[in-house]
Structure 1
Amino acid sequence: MATIANQPRCDVCGNKLVKNGKNSAGRTRWRCKNCGASSTVSRPDITAKTQFTRFYRWATGKHSVSELETPRRTFHRTTAWCWQVQPSLPQTGEQHRYLMLDGTYFNGYCALTAFNGNHIIDWQFCDREKTASWTRMLQRMAPPQIAVIDGNGALESVITGLWPETKIQRCFFHIRQTMVKHLTLNPRTAPGQQLLTLTRALMKVSTKEQANQWTEQFYQWQSMHTVTLKERTYAKDKTESRPSHARPNQTWWYTHINLRRGARLFHSLLKKEQLFQWLDQAMEGEALPRTTSPLEGGINAGIKNQLRLHRGLKPQHSITLVRWHLYQYVQNPQDPWSFVERKHWAEKPSPQPIKEEPMGPALYDKHFSWDDGNGVQKGWGGRR
């Protein structure tokens, strides 16, 4: 037909067509009242929308291809073009009260996400969490009042450089995980047991008064065990067994290195004021987050679950799947079909036949060649 619409026109005379029943395949038959030409109209746009809707439900749902009504090979063939469609986020410039920033790894890639407690604000795909990746994402957003992070060094340096007025709150869950890594759940020394008790008490702090009491208790513990934290072990000779953190030519090292690392963690967080910002910046009746668990345990965990349900994807296809998963948590998301353009689903032009090139000189052809000795022979030619 000349146009794709609900009122198509005749290709012969150009007049409007009217419905004239259906053919044996169940498709609507159209007839021209002027010239009597009859034909059916194909709607590739409606077909493409149906294919994309089926693809979107599969990509964001829990069903595998084998559980769909469409055969596997048919589904992959008809929705192959859908992988080109990518959702995008408009930059509003809105300043948020707080943002949770974190990255999660999948299929050799990393997805950096910004979450305001209710909706995804922005995302960035990269190979790993590094300064360039965080800088590229944070430059697109307005600085929030508070940034809740997990302690990534590159992220903290980028926030300090780009958002100098933003307060940083370290995630309590990651603090506890780091302290358990240093001290284990069953410390052998008394100072280690006391520091683990302080770590568990930190998780129960809920008011400013309790925060001040906890700070005093930590500084008391630090002053009480100053000598223990500074104890050294000297190497007697080069053949002596050394801990993994000691260099080959190092003559001494701290005896309680893990205890010292745990103490330095708390001391650094208190010095940089990154431990109780969720209490200091809170208004009356306001509850600010102190962990990134709503982002990691909700949205990022959903990324891993979706990829687990759709195993075997190519790296680029997995990125597209993660994009659609994150887009579901955007505030006021648009209809996914609005991101589809005609160039995505339009049929590709049929390939032109390739002219065969000669493989080389014709050795045996319809004509004689002087090169192969098959020219007109003269003389006796060996006859007697």
Structure 2
Amino acid sequence: LQRIPAPVIAVIDGGQGAASAIKKYWPATVIQRCLVHAQRVVRRYTTSHPRTDAGKAIYQLARNLTRITTLDEAATWARQLHEYGTFYRGWINQKTFTTDPITQQRHWAWTHPNTRKAYNSLLHLWRNNLLFTYLNPPTELQHRHRIKSTTNSLEGAINAELKLLTRTHRGRAGEHQRKMLEWWLYQKTELPDDPTEIARQSNWGQNQLAKVPALTHNKNQADHQTGRPALYDNAIDTTYTHSIGIQKGHT
């Protein structure tokens, strides 16, 4: 991120690594949390078919996030989240106590941990002003109407293509795969240079190929103390291995 000019707003999917890096290197950048990923966090805790009334209510609040288009609707949603916390506070804070049969020590745990985590995830985003930045962006920002509330355009346009490219050429690994993805991304830049000139500068790929044996040699180190195998071998192991047998019957 140090080599990229700091944007006014950054939309992130919730990964802690991205949030920490932005806070360190882009301290003035305002963060918008992807609303779809916020929904997925809640769904992971409640499932898409929650059984309790509290689970159904918090899941519905999460689903309503992506339908908000105005500040008034955002204020209504925030009020509903507050009312949820007030109405279900006693239920969410219920504890279950158990006694260890050996030590006779008492332990407690939240009775409804998943619903509690789902509620706290939304409450954390709301208290830190991470949900509705797209509705109230900084005044110095141009094209305010183009601010996104999700990372869908990135996931569907760029990441999906990269995943497809990697899956199609899954035989490549290490430096080969990295250069393949790097080249694809470079072709999507606004003004890419002439491919012939780029190939000439990299000695027609020989510079990249020289890195492959070095990287492979470093990784191809068996560790007999931990049992880690080598990345590849040059012969068939002739010693008896109990865990490998001849498969019989239909596959």
TM-score (norm 2): 0.74
Residues 232-243 of structure 1: pairs in structure 2 closer than 5 A: 232-238=95-101
Highest CA radius of gyration, 1 or 2? 1
- Could you tell me how far 1:296 is from its partner in structure 2? 1.4
Which residue is 1:133 aligned to? Answer: none
The equivalent residue for 2:111 is 255
* Residue in structure 1 matched with residue 24 of structure 2 by the alignment: 161
Higher strand share: 1
Question: In angstroms, what is the RMSD of aligned CA positions?
Answer: 2.2
SS of the residue 2:129 aligns to: coil
Change (3 A) 1:268 1:310: same
Change beyond 3 A, Cα 1:277–1:238: farther
2:53 aligned residue: 190
Counterpart of 1:271 in structure 2 is 127
Instruction: Determine if the alignment matches structure 1 residue 344 to structure 2 residue 207.
Output: no
1:326 to 185, 192, 196: 185
1:89-168 matches, cutoff 5 A: 138-168=1-31
- After TM superposition, give the deviation of residue 342 of structure 1 in Å: 6.6
Task: Give the whole-Å Cα distance in 2 for the aligned partners of 1:192 and 1:172.
Answer: 19
What's the counterpart of residue 80 of structure 2? Answer: 217
Size of the aligned set, in residue pairs, is 201
Displacement after TM superposition at 1:309 (Å): 2.4
Query: Could you report, residue by residue, the CA deviation over 1:268-315 in whole angstroms, capped at 9, with x for unpaired residues?
Result: 111110000010107786131011111111111111211222231132
Cα offset, 1:346, TM superposition: 10
Hey, what's the Cα distance between the residues in 1 that align with 2:31 and 2:59? 24
1:236 Cα deviation (Å)?
2.7
- Identity fraction in percent: 32
Q: Look up the match of 1:301.
A: 160
Runs ≥4 in structure 1, deviation > 3 angstroms?
282-285
Q: Aligned with 2:99: secondary structure?
A: coil
CA contact (8 A) 1:282 1:288 kept: no
Structure with the larger helix share: 2
Q: Could you say what secondary structure the match of 2:10 adopts?
A: strand
Q: How far apart in 2 are the matches of 1:346 and 1:157?
A: 36
Distance 1:346 1:331, change over 3 A: closer
In structure 2, what is the Cα distance between the partners aligned to 1:343 and 1:147?
34
Residue pair 1:235, 1:251 contacting (<8 A) in 2 also: yes
Stretches of structure 2 that go unaligned for 5 or more consecutive residues are 207-251
In 2, the alpha carbon distance for the partners of 1:255 and 1:212 equals 31
Give the partner amino acid of 2:41.
T
Write the distance in 1 (CA, Å) between the matches of 2:114 and 2:152.
26
The TM-score, its normalising length taken from structure 1, stands at: 0.49
Match of 1:288 in 2: 147
Instruction: State how far apart, in whole Å, the 2-side matches of 1:346 and 1:201 are.
Output: 51
Alpha-carbon distance in 2 for matches of 1:250, 1:184: 31
Contact 1:148/1:168 (8 A) holds in 2: yes
- Report if aligned partners of 1:148, 1:291 keep a CA contact under 8 Å in 2: yes
Instruction: Please state whether the residue corresponding to 2:49 is helix, strand or coil.
Output: coil
| Cα distance, 1:146–1:271 mapped onto 2, change above 3 Å | same
Pick aligned residue for 1:172 from 31, 35, 46: 35
Contact persistence 2:137–2:144 (CA under 8 A): no
**Which runs of 5 or more structure 1 residues have no equivalent in the other structure?**
1-137, 240-248, 348-384
Q: Deviations over 1:330-355 (max 9, x none)?
A: 111111112123772499xxxxxxxx
Partner residue in 2 for 1:312: 171
Separation in structure 1 between the aligned mates of residue 106 and residue 95 of structure 2, nearest angstrom: 12
